[in-house]
Structure 1
Amino acid sequence: MQFKDYYGILGVEPNAGEAEIKSAYRRLARKYHPDVSKEADAEEKFKAVNEAYEALRDPQKRTAYDQLRSRGYRPGDDVQPPGAGGGGFHGAPGDFDFDEIFAGDGRGGGGFSDFFEEMFGRGRGGRPGGRQQQAGPTRARFSVPLEAVYRGDSVRIGLNGKSLDVRIPKGIRPGQMIRLGGQGGQGGDLLLEIEYAAHPDFEVDGRNILYVLPVMPWQAALGAVMSVPTLGGAVELKIPAGSDAGKKLRLRGRGLPGQVPGDQIVEVEILAPVPQNAAQKAAYEGLRESFG
């Protein structure tokens, strides 16, 4: 099992703050998303970026990872798994317990490296001095793609050497539980506590979905009809003439399902393209003269 440099994958320093890590993730996730990237290894890079963000966005996971990293491991170095004697993972300070952490890959569950699964997805009850497993329910956090929450998909997960198909109820909320009978430790039930996986395009506010739409200056000034991604597929949205940066437009019913479905809130972000030739530079100069 080889050590992963999650900071290097995201291109940030180890002391980077939460906002910087999130910004790096969003930029790289858009760049390598398999649906838009034309690079041959885009899907593998996308998975690596998503795995790195899943490890660093959670303070407990990041603490555990930093503790291991402080031992001087470099990318590709062999790391002993738990119980291998002397070099394995020992967990973070406090009450944090690795076998209560589980995450999906942001596109449908599973798909993380052995390194990530050993740190965050497998129990350590059999290690000398570790916690002894009980026959009662086993709890785990389950990171679910927003698309699965929107559609009510079944998601395949890997946990402790098993593959399980989990049906995700439409509109399930973070903190709610899914119980899988007999799938926990020693035949007990498995309780999956839901959290939403990070998404390269969308943020969540209650049941509303937030999306930032890049718009060219002439589109904002003159108005335009633009294609906007939603969890249910792309739709056309009319940008009113004279739209300012930060203007918010609402796509009703395009948020997460519920008794009262959420909306998608689209925020206008005006881009200023860099002139690439003399004609484009002259166009900017003409604007400057026209608008004083």
Structure 2
Amino acid sequence: MQYKDYYKIMELSRNATQDEIKRAYRKLARKYHPDVSKEKEAEAKFKELGEAYEVLKDPEKRAAYDRLGANWKAGEDFRPPPNWDEGFEFKGGGFTGGDAGIFSDFFEQLFGRAGFRPSEYGARGFHARGQDTHAKIYIDLEDSVHGSTRNISLSAPATDAQGHVQVKQRNLNIKIPKGIKPGQHIRLTGQGNPGSGSGKAGDLLLEIAFNPHPLYRVSESDIYLDLPVTPWEAALGAKIKVPTPEGNVDLKIPPNSRQGSKLRLKGRGLPAKTPGDFYVALQIALPPANTEREKAVYQKMQQELDFNPRLSLGV
């Protein structure tokens, strides 16, 4: 996926005002409109211009895009930095997903997710409820397993009197409920945009994502662990200690266990009315053969064991 330099496409500096962005779009749209332009590849440039304007005209999308930094070059291979959208508070910039296919993969990767949509409370009036705002936050697996209280920092874009987009910060203490899963939301009543007149403030909806864990993976309410075992533990069976988010447990490895075999610890996944399970995937770890003694052990196995792992392949 190639990085798009929207400022370069619109021939603008990164500190351009919102009015300057509008003027630049009108000028370039006339230049590259396929119906009138004589420029080479006018249609492709007009489409690229429309995508750049879709982002830069909207303070929320623009602030999110600016988070990626100014060190990328147009056309470079690009992957969004991990957790780039963490704590970014927005109410929706107008992209609903209905335009899929019109914009580039780069745009879709950043703004095609469900969050960048108009709020369901878009009404305007003297006494109108404020819009809901949204943000994505990353928590640790243990926060969900045990429940916790976290201090989070949110960044929200705003346009100043000169038309420049600025990012304002605010901190909140939130309670993480036990058993919350990635993709679920925490609703903070009254923490969204202020209402008009005597209208109530909107709510803040926090989408939950998990930080990568050094040991575990999560799928729905289940937790997975890749567990290294020795060849003799897999072949002969063993009773070994296994780490779980709630402490070590003793696990019985059945004899003749195979690579990738899954063992289940029922009810030891994420807590819930029906709790998830904890799965152990066996990964057989081979001892090294660096010393003469270690090599001799392998040579003895080779001589004494009638074993061909490729027998099922017919070779």
Range class of TM-score, shorter chain? 0.5 to 0.7
Structure-2 separation of matches of 1:206 and 1:119: 22
Tell me the amino acid that sits aligned with residue 246 of structure 2.
G
| Deviation per residue, 1:193-235 (Å, 9 max, x gap) | 2233332322223221111111111221122222222121222
Q: Partner of 1:257: helix, strand, or coil?
A: coil
Contact kept in structure 2, 1:99 and 1:121, CA below 8 Å? no
What is residue 145 of structure 1 aligned with on the other side?
140
Q: How does 1:1-292 map to 2 (within 5 A)?
A: 66-67=3-4, 97=61, 121-122=87-88, 135-160=130-155, 161-186=169-194, 188-292=202-306
Cα 1:185–1:117 shift into 2, 3 Å: farther
Contact kept in structure 2, 1:91 and 1:97, CA below 8 Å? no
Cα 1:83–1:150 shift into 2, 3 Å: farther
TM-score by length of 1: 0.56
Contact kept in structure 2, 1:228 and 1:235, CA below 8 Å? yes
Query: What percent identity do the matched residue pairs reach?
Result: 38
Runs of 4+ aligned structure 1 residues displaced above 6 Å come to 80-86, 90-96, 98-101, 115-119, 131-134
Q: Which runs of 5+ in 2 are unaligned?
A: 9-13, 22-51, 66-80, 92-116, 123-129, 156-168, 195-200, 307-315
Contact kept in structure 2, 1:100 and 1:140, CA below 8 Å? no
Structure-2 separation of matches of 1:285 and 1:243: 23
Structure of larger gyration radius: 2
Cα RMSD after superposing both structures: 4.1
TM-score by length of 2: 0.53
Tell me the amino acid that sits aligned with residue 297 of structure 2.
A
| Deviation per residue, 1:68-97 (Å, 9 max, x gap) | 6998xxxxxxxx7897999xxx79969994
The number of equivalent residue pairs is 201
Structure-1 separation of matches of 2:302 and 2:82: 53
More helix by share: 1
